[in-house]
Amino acid sequence: MKAEMALKICQKCKAACCKMGGPDFSKSEMKKVLKAGHPNYFVELNPNHFELKGKKGRCHYLTNSNSCRIHNERPLMCKCWPVYVNYKNNKKEFVLIECPLTSQLSKKDIQIMKYQASRIPKEIITNSFSSSKFPKSDIKIVEMRFNKFKQKPLN
Ligand code: SF4
Ligand code: SF4
């Protein structure tokens, strides 16, 4: 899929996926963002797991015109969307999230996204909300937003 087409669809969608509190970052992903000179909104949850301050609403790196301020430095969790990875009984399970972009993706696009999702460090996925320092009420809001998207298993 061409990047311009994806951009058009995401602009029309008004970046719904970027309004769920923002992604999680590994240490190297966090460093990449700071090295590029972007503001520091990070909260350390464990040595290789960083979240953005506050889980309510917009990602701090989303501009008012709904584009990503850190596009070149965005983490795997953003690169792979709308593919996501979960761990069940220590086993990776991929899901395809239904959003306006999903139906436009080719098999090859999905394969690339799946590969990116597979590279997300496990501690970021498994520790995500359960170990978060953020108030449970904020986490509930994020989960509610995420669960609004339908998901189907991806082999
Ligand atoms: S990836 Fe999907 S949910 Fe995110 S902005 Fe694009 S269309 Fe919307
Ligand atoms: S880092 Fe960029 S792509 Fe990822 S949620 Fe934030 S604004 Fe969206």
Within the chain, strands assigned E span: 42-46, 49-52, 83-88, 91-97, 151-154
Instruction: Name the residue ranges covered by the structural domains of the chain.
Output: 15-154
- Of 123, 111, 153, 110, the closest CA to residue 49 belongs to 123
Sole residue written with tokens 């996926």: 17
Ligand minimally distant from the alpha carbon of residue 101: 1
Taking the chain, what is the end-to-end CA distance rounded to the nearest angstrom? Answer: 21
User: Could you read off the pLDDT of 107-132 as tens digits, one per residue?
Assistant: 999 999 999 999 999 888 865 666 67
Among 36-50, 83-97, 128-142, name the one with the lowest average pLDDT.
Answer: 128-142
- 24 near 77, Cβ under 8 Å? yes
Distance, CA 155 to ligand 1 centroid (Å)?
Answer: 22
Q: What is the pLDDT averaged over residues 93-102? A: 94
pTM: 0.92
Own/partner contacts of 143-149, CB < 8 Å, gap of 24 or more, are: 145/19, 145/20, 145/21, 146/20, 149/17, 149/82, 149/97, 149/98, 149/99
Q: Is the dihedral of CA 34, 7, 102, 104 positive or negative?
A: negative
Best residue among 78, 80, 101 to mutate for probing ligand 2's pocket (most ligand atoms within 8 Å of CB) is 78
- 5 near 104, Cβ under 8 Å? yes
- Tell me what percent of the residues of the chain surpass a pLDDT of 90: 62
Residues in the chain: 155
Angle 60-80-144 from CA coordinates, rounded to 5°: 60
